[in-house]
Structure 1
């Protein structure tokens, strides 16, 4: 198989997962909101980058992942979708020290520190996200969100860094460990608790079986992302953090065989998560809450897959991606 022959929908078409494929009824207004933020606030990006982010229609990822949010609830979720995607994209060429400084500053702002007037929209919007989430959710949930943001940054983006610099992927075993966090999905998945209105207490949320279910769901999205983003990453030529590339290196596989194996690993991950949820029914009075969490996480997983199939973000040749450009003001 030649790279230009690859099509992710051959592996993960619409409706691939056992949950409904839905869209939030406020999607149109969510798009207007996001375009306004890009045009009016994200001025540290070039005009070309801003246009690309608008064409990605990231608001549809929010709308598809969390179709039952009220309009008020969509605002911080939609704002975070843009903030975190742009942040991850634009630190691609940053040093490890710069990435660590960015993480520390974002966490501090989420905890209540005020952004400086000269700080760009990544920081200004992080403060708004924190305020908006606190208006909707109890502090125990906000602390959970902050911790998952920290985890994804600290053990995802930062642990990828040395391998990206060396342009050499880690072993498959280590890659799977890091990829669970570098896919950045953990803070997004718990938006289902906003949707359901059922906030799990800590002793349930931290239960090892529940955490393992979250790990399986997160890794399903990681493998899904690697399958859909492959055309963009093949075009870059220096990307190493993709399951297909790791499989090619470790087992000397062709592109076709590596893609088939990546799809098998994805399906195995999904089956393991579903089997664990079906078997372990020992959450007592909170079993219904856990079931609701998994349902909303599943709708989100179905939704993000549909978004990947529709967005221009991962086009062949990387034409739809907002690559970092010289002159972007990423400084804190």
Structure 2
């Protein structure tokens, strides 16, 4: 299989997952909001980057993943979608020290620090969405959101760095651990607690079964992303943090063989997640909370797959839809 022949829909077609395929009724207004933020607030982006971020339609990812959010609830979720994606993209060529500084500063703002007038929209919008979330979510949820944001940075983006800078992929075993965090899904996952209105208490979220289910959900999103983003990453030529590339190197596979193995790994993790939820029903009075949490996570899996296939130009062949950083790091 030649790279230009690859189609992610051959592996993960529409409606692949056993949950409903839905969309938030506020999707059009969410799009207008995001375009306004890009035009008026994200002034550090170039005109070319602004156009590309609009064509990515990241608001549609929010709308497809969390269809039951009210408009008020959707605003900070949508704001975070743009903030986190742009932050990650624009750190592509940053040093480890710069990445660490971003993690420290962003975490401090989520915990209450106010951004200075000279700090750009990445920081200003983080403070805004922090206040928006706190207006309707309890402190236990905010602490969880901040912790998952920190984990994704500290154990994902930062641990990827040494492999990206040397252009050498890790072993498959090590890759699977790091990729679980670098896909940046953990803070997004708990948006389902906003939709359901059922926030899991710490002793339930920390239960080993729930932690394993969360791990598997996030891994499925990672493998999903690696499959759909392959055309963009093949164009870059230096990307090593993709399951398909890791499989090719470790097992000396062709592109077609590696894609098939990536799908097998994806399906095995999905099946294990579903089986754990089915087989362990010992959460007592919190079983409804757990069921809702996993239902909304499943809707999110279905929704982000729809986003990849129908809504975005982010992963076009050749990388032409990606907003590659034009400066070393966001300031």
Q: TM-score, normalised by structure 2?
A: 0.99
Distance in structure 2 (CA, Å) of the matches to 1:291 and 1:227: 28
Q: Which position in structure 2 is the counterpart of 1:148? A: 148
Distance in structure 2 (CA, Å) of the matches to 1:236 and 1:258: 18
The one-character-per-residue Cα deviations of 1:138-166 (angstroms, maximum 9, x if unpaired) are 00100000000000000000000000000
| Unaligned stretches of 5+ residues in structure 1 | none
Q: Which of structure 1's runs of 4+ aligned residues deviate more than 3 A?
A: none
Does 1:99 pair with 2:99? yes
Q: Which position in structure 2 is the counterpart of 1:58? A: 58
TM-superposed deviation, 1:329:
6.2
TM-superposed deviation, 1:302:
0.4
Structure 2 vs 1, CA of residues 272 and 329 (structure 1 numbering), >3 Å: closer, same or farther?
closer
Q: 8 Å contact 1:120–1:329 — kept in the other structure?
A: no
The one-character-per-residue Cα deviations of 1:197-228 (angstroms, maximum 9, x if unpaired) are 00011100110100100001000000000000
Structure 2 vs 1, CA of residues 32 and 317 (structure 1 numbering), >3 Å: closer, same or farther?
same
Q: 8 Å contact 2:133–2:142 — kept in the other structure?
A: yes
Question: What is the RMSD of the two structures over their aligned residues, measured on CA atoms?
Answer: 0.7
Q: Which position in structure 2 is the counterpart of 1:284? A: 284
Q: 8 Å contact 1:23–1:67 — kept in the other structure?
A: yes
Q: Which position in structure 1 is the counterpart of 2:134? A: 134
Alignment of 1:162-311 (within 5 A): 162-310=162-310, 311=312
TM-superposed deviation, 1:280:
0.6
Q: 8 Å contact 1:61–1:303 — kept in the other structure?
A: yes
| Unaligned stretches of 5+ residues in structure 2 | none
Does 1:48 pair with 2:59? no
Q: 8 Å contact 1:44–1:329 — kept in the other structure?
A: no
Q: Which position in structure 1 is the counterpart of 2:71? A: 71
Distance in structure 2 (CA, Å) of the matches to 1:329 and 1:176: 27
The one-character-per-residue Cα deviations of 1:158-183 (angstroms, maximum 9, x if unpaired) are 00000000000000000000000000
Does 1:330 pair with 2:291? no
